[in-house]
């Protein structure tokens, strides 16, 4: 029986979005034009993006016993994501963030992790969690111990692990050895020692650099495109689609969701990367 479910282990955040003319500098107070709540967390966003791309999506995570948690659960279910392995924890608040977006669509954000730091790694051993799963997605908004526990469970079952190493942080060798595909953007690649990325050529060099440690690598370079080194050592680059950017917020999560939906459906890496690039282009050009 085909294993076509994508399992996302990761963060869930109630995002408060603020629109302003520009991002504040240190010690500056800016006046915003509007604010609104938004479903977020890299884990949650990627799980929703998987479902939107047409694959079965399952989420493992935690929320607090509060209004933010209720909002997050409703959003998951409304997007078609299985939430049976999202735990509601008492005594702690749900994860949340505040993001400011400027007139050009650029943004800066601060997160408060809350319940995301309280997920129980032991719960990942539940066989029902892995029923039908063909791919695991991880990010860096939860403790590495949780990611390692999830990746060990996936490896024991012959399931590939995709790590979106965002936000960038030092990774243990145990974690590195469990990753089948690393996906990072230009900033994260540079923070992982791959050098500055500002065009397709430097993205390709960064991917080659990171491929010395990881089985396969994708480095995304925003409006320039992306570079790939696959598990067989084959390298290629793709230019980005030309679109009018409304907001870059969440583009990376849309990319990951579409990529993993294609991979779990046994699409080759080139086809999956094209689908992911297209999904990101649609996302950044869509009105909020």
Give me the residue spans of the domains in the chain.
5-285
pLDDT beyond 80 at 149: yes
Among residues 171, 164, 208, the alpha carbon closest in space to that of 187 is found at 164
Tens of pLDDT, residues 181-201: 999 999 999 999 999 999 999
**Residues in Cβ contact with 139 at an 8 Å cutoff, skipping those fewer than 6 apart:** 10, 11, 42, 43, 46, 163, 164, 165, 166
Residue 1 confidence (pLDDT) above 70: no
Question: Mean pLDDT throughout 244-268?
Answer: 90
pLDDT above 60: residue 241? yes
What's residue 103's pLDDT? 87
Residue 250: which pLDDT band, with cuts at 50, 70 and 90?
confident
Q: Average pLDDT in the 227-249 region?
A: 88
Angle at 159 between CA 260 and CA 80, to 5 degrees: 45
For every residue of 52-79, DSSP letters joined together read HTTSEEEEEEEEESSHHHHHHHHHHHHT
CATH architecture group of domain 5-285:
3-Layer(aba) Sandwich (3.40)
pLDDT tier for residue 288 given thresholds of 50, 70 and 90: low
Q: Are 57 and 85 in contact (CB under 8 A)?
A: no
CB 90 within 8 A of CB 119: no
Sign of CA dihedral 211, 152, 114, 101: positive
What pTM, to 2 d.p., does this model score? Answer: 0.92
Render pLDDT for 47-103 as a digit per residue (tens, 0 to 9). 999 999 999 999 999 999 999 999 999 999 999 999 999 999 999 999 999 989 888
Computed over every residue of the chain, the mean pLDDT equals 94
pLDDT at 256 over 70: yes
Residue 33 class from Cβ within 10 Å (0-12 exposed, 13-18 middle, 19+ buried)?
exposed
CA distance 151 to 15: 27
How do strand 217-220 and strand 181-185 relate by DSSP bridges? parallel
Task: Inform me whether the pLDDT recorded for 17 exceeds 80.
Answer: yes
Cis previous bond, 53, omega within 30: no
Q: How many CB atoms lie within 10 A of CB 237?
A: 18
Each residue's pLDDT tens digit, 261-282: 999 999 999 999 999 999 999 9
- pLDDT at position 133, please? 98
Please state the rounded mean pLDDT for residues 103-128: 92
User: What is the pLDDT at residue 257?
Assistant: 97
For residue 124, give both structure tokens: 């990942």
């Amino acid at each position: 029986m085909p294993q076509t479910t994508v399992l996302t282990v990761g963060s869930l955040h109630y995002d408060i979005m603020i629109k302003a003319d520009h991002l504040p500098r240190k010690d500056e107070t800016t006046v915003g034009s509007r604010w609104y709540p938004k479903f977020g967390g890299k884990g949650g966003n990627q799980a929703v993006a998987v479902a939107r791309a047409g694959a079965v999506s399952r989420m493992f995570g935690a929320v607090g016993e509060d209004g933010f948690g209720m909002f997050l659960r409703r959003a998951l279910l409304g997007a078609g994501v299985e939430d049976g392995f999202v735990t509601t924890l008492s005594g702690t608040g749900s994860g949340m963030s505040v993001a400011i977006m400027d007139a050009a669509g650029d943004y800066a954000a601060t997160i408060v992790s809350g319940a995301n730091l309280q997920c129980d790694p032991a719960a990942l051993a539940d066989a029902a969690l892995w029923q039908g799963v063909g791919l695991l997605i991880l990010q860096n908004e939860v403790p590495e111990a949780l990611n390692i526990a999830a990746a060990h469970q996936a490896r024991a079952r012959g399931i590939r692990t995709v790590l979106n190493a965002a936000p960038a942080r030092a990774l243990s060798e145990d974690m590195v050895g469990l990753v089948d595909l690393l996906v990072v953007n230009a900033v994260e690649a540079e923070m992982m020692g791959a050098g500055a990325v500002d065009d397709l050529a430097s993205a390709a060099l960064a991917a080659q650099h990171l491929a010395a440690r990881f089985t396969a690598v994708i480095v995304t370079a925003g409006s320039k495109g992306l570079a790939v080194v696959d598990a067989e050592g084959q390298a290629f680059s793709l230019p980005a689609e030309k679109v009018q950017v409304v907001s870059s917020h969440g583009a990376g999560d849309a990319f990951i969701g579409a990529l993993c939906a294609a991979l779990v459906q046994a699409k080759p890496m080139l086809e999956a990367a094209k689908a992911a690039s297209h999904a990101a282009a649609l996302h950044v050009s869509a009105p909020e």
